[in-house]
């Protein structure tokens, strides 16, 4: 008699500093590889964990979503405890639930929210330094906010794609058109923190970091808010700003 396969959904948080990104690689630590090894130890079988999308080396997550199929009968509450006991402290499982067989963390994702955090304080204290881009120089937040709003709507984001030009989860037909539902600059005065928050139906490789890097150029006065329209229209990576460091970026939420 064949064993019944269960489809289990994970909600995952991780400090990406010491990982070479989400996707498993032959060499070096990755979040996907770390999860799969832990699950293999618990279930006694190899496991293929499918994430909602890849995060780059050094990028963090508060609400990454993944799923895997297993015949292991361990209850979800016990599996959550077992995983968190086995995983390194830089990876935490926030939830485990049984989902329909048709659920796929990547294919079924409808929207994602990312936050990019820029620390303006003169000193980056040790307990925040790994999770921000420390930029203790003047930035015009009003101009940055005006520029950020111009990314909303459906656009060809070729100018903000990674140099490789390939797409990540959320790709539509292999092109570089994405719909951005909201794009805004938030100010956290008590923390001296500028937060760029963007929610969309999908993102190209390095896209959020390239958007953030370009907004920083606006804040510095090197670009004006209306330059965003010109950069979008150009469809050329060389027209946009530099790629912001990975430490400031966090995948906050995936919606289904």
* Residues that are catalytic: 56
| Calpha distance 192→122 (Å, rounded) | 9
Helix then strand then coil, % of the chain, to nearest 5: 30, 30, 40
Distance linking the first and last C-alpha atoms of the chain: 34
Dist. CA 106–CA 160, nearest whole Å? 22
Identify the residue whose tokens are 């003169």: 122
CA 228 to chain centre: 22
Phi, psi of 113 (to 5 degrees): -120, 130
Packing angle of the helix pair 207-220, 227-234 (nearest 10 deg): 140
């Amino acid at each position: 008699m064949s064993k019944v396969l269960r489809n289990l959904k994970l909600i995952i948080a991780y400090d990406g500093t010491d990982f070479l990104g989400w996707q498993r690689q032959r060499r070096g630590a990755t979040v996907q590889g770390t999860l799969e090894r832990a699950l293999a130890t618990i279930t006694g079988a190899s496991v293929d964990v499918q994430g909602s999308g890849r995060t780059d080396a050094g990028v963090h997550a508060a609400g990454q979503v993944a799923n895997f199929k297993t015949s292991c009968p361990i209850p979800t509450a016990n599996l959550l405890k077992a995983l968190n006991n086995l995983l390194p402290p830089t990876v935490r499982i926030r939830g485990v639930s049984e989902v329909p067989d048709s659920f796929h963390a990547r294919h079924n994702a409808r929207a994602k929210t990312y936050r990019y955090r820029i620390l303006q304080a003169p000193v980056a204290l040790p307990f925040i330094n790994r999770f921000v881009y420390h930029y203790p120089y003047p930035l015009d937040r009003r101009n940055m906010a005006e520029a950020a709003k111009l990314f909303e709507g459906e656009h060809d984001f070729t100018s903000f794609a990674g140099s490789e030009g390939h797409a990540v989860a959320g790709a539509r037909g292999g092109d570089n058109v994405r719909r951005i539902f909201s794009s805004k600059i938030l100010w956290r005065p008590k923390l001296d923190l500028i937060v760029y928050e963007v929610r969309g139906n999908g993102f190209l490789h390095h896209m959020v970091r390239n958007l953030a890097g370009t907004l920083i150029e606006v804040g510095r006065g090197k670009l004006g808010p209306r330059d965003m329209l010109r950069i979008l229209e150009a469809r050329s990576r060389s027209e946009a700003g530099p790629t912001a460091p990975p430490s400031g970026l966090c995948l906050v939420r995936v919606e289904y």
